[in-house]
Structure 1
Amino acid sequence: MKQIVGGSLTDEGAVENFVASEGAAHFAEMFRRDDLRGGHVIQLGPGNRNAAQEALASWPGGLQLGGGVNLENAADWLSAGASEVIVTSYLFDKEGHFLKENLAQLAREIGPENLVVDLSCRRSADGWQVAMNRWQTLTDLPVTTAVLDALGEWCGEFLIHAADVEGKCGGVDADLVELLGTWSGRPMTYAGGVGTMTDLELVQERSGGRVDVTVGSALDIFGGQGVSYRELVAWNQREENCS
């Protein structure tokens, strides 16, 4: 299990923040004990299938699976224990043109409620553009409320990494969070840049409480110093009780 600087990921590797001595299943079991649902098991290249399967088997129905998901294997990953599958690159051709029919086919095959559309993005002159191919290729799909409206009927949730700040623990993209918070058609999870508990509160504030947030490299269990795992569990339980 690794924590990386997301925007550095290429075929040759990535800048690594942390490499765990324990396998993915160890962390899946930890999240299961603390009832932290919806965590992301992402296959960031070849050779990860066994580790992903072990994590899903450790908590059937508790984790989402992403990385290489397509029409041929999505149902298999759900059968392996994924609560939902996460898809990005399958929705675009090699040049980055959006393929709506691929999304529609996938939703019809497994049900939109089992599908998380990943619109991870980079900043552009006009806002944010969805990035695919390990966040290296900008697509022709912007992140706007109109796009969320158009795609919302085909999925149960959106996941949006701010790739420019992912893994850097230097603060969230508050402008992106605010944009996402103006739309409430589907559950939404933001990822990228969380460095301290203050960033979690900022996401809550700037999104009006409508956007969930993931924490990775800042966590002490992943080698970070800004957020303790026990503190995060307590914060999550508090937010659930308030909702």
Structure 2
Amino acid sequence: MPSVFRPCIDLHNGAVKQIVGGSLDTDNLRTNFVSEKPSSYYAELYRQHDLRGGHVIKLGPGNDDAAKAALQAWPNGLQVGGGINVKNAQEWLDAGAEKVIVTSYLFPGAKFDEDRLRRLAEKVGKDRLVVDVSCRRRENRWIVAMDRWQVMTDMEVNADSLERLAQYCSEFLVHAADVEGLCKGIDEELVQKLGEWTPIPTTYAGGAKSADDLELVERLSGGKVDLTYGSALDIFGGSQVKFDDLVEYNKSALARSE
């Protein structure tokens, strides 16, 4: 399969926003875009163009209603993440999520707890679980970051960790938090490594600034990694990438794969 565009809806204080990832939950939060439209508008837009595998991310508290509105606009068409745990995961699937996305719950005290992941997979099923291994770069390594990308965990993103996690989930979501929201280009080295390392479908987010980045991601990852656009996209107030161009790209990519 070729790499394709995967859409997103980032929620902060109940509104659809685009935020500079590294500033999240700090005193100098930097916001690129705040939408006047509700989350359901974007969900309906993605549904209209059959853009599957998109993720709704709740960045902190106060976003449950907006997340549920998006899921109701496209039942079983979107994934949801942010505060997901073994107690509420099924509730979000019942609310219309195709899959649930989990990060922080797996790292109590910033240390990976495989038993938590095993129990969550048993509860909802591996096929309905996405593990978010969003990370920050430390020299030539990438370390999983949790709690809105502010707390570093004890897990490095590499072939061994992804193989271990893939036993329990059907997809990975990887935000490159250091370049998220900056529109200055993707972390090419990380995308290439993900193509080498990941044994399951993976979506990368962070820094995409041109429609050509889709071809770049496909080349770097061998088509094993999909790409999310945020702040550069015209539907999020950006000027560098047209949503309609990405829709057309997906159509041609899927036609190539048939």
With the shorter chain as reference, the TM-score category is over 0.9
- What CA RMSD, in Å, does the superposition of the two structures yield over aligned residues? 1.1
Q: Which string of whole-angstrom CA distances, capped at 9 and with x for unpartnered residues, describes residues 121-151 of structure 1?
A: 0111341000001000111100001111111
Q: Which string of whole-angstrom CA distances, capped at 9 and with x for unpartnered residues, describes residues 190-234 of structure 1?
A: 110001112221111100111111111111010001110100100
Q: Give 2:51's aligned amino acid.
A: L
Moved over 2 A (4+): 11-14
Match of 1:3?
Answer: 18
TM-score (norm 2): 0.92
Q: Does 1:92 align with 2:107?
A: yes
Q: Give 1:173's aligned amino acid.
A: D
Match of 1:157?
Answer: 171
Q: Does 1:23 align with 2:38?
A: yes
Q: Give 2:194's aligned amino acid.
A: L
SS in structure 2 of the partner of residue 123 of structure 1: strand
Q: Does 1:145 align with 2:159?
A: yes
Q: Does 1:231 align with 2:252?
A: no
Match of 2:8?
Answer: none
Q: Which string of whole-angstrom CA distances, capped at 9 and with x for unpartnered residues, describes residues 152-184 of structure 1?
A: 110000011111000111000000000010135
Work out the number of aligned pairs and report it. Answer: 242
Query: Which of 70, 88, 91 matches 2:85?
Result: 70
SS in structure 2 of the partner of residue 41 of structure 1: strand
Structure 1: distance between partners of 2:252 and 2:34: 30
Q: Which string of whole-angstrom CA distances, capped at 9 and with x for unpartnered residues, describes residues 77-116 of structure 1?
A: 001010100000000012x111111100000000011000
Matches within 5 A, 1:184-195: 184-195=198-209
Consecutive unaligned residues in structure 1, runs of 5 or more: none
SS in structure 1 of the partner of residue 231 of structure 2: coil
Matches within 5 A, 1:1-243: 1-10=16-25, 12=27, 14-94=29-109, 96-243=110-257
SS in structure 1 of the partner of residue 197 of structure 2: coil
Residues 158 and 197, structure 2, Cα contact 8 Å, conserved in 1: no
SS in structure 2 of the partner of residue 131 of structure 1: strand
Structure 1: distance between partners of 2:27 and 2:72: 30
Structure 2: distance between partners of 1:81 and 1:123: 34
Q: Which string of whole-angstrom CA distances, capped at 9 and with x for unpartnered residues, describes residues 66-86 of structure 1?
A: 000000100000010101000
Structure 2: distance between partners of 1:126 and 1:18: 31
SS in structure 1 of the partner of residue 191 of structure 2: helix
128-137 vs 118-127, which deviates more? Answer: 118-127
TM-score (norm 1): 0.97
Structure 1: distance between partners of 2:187 and 2:155: 19
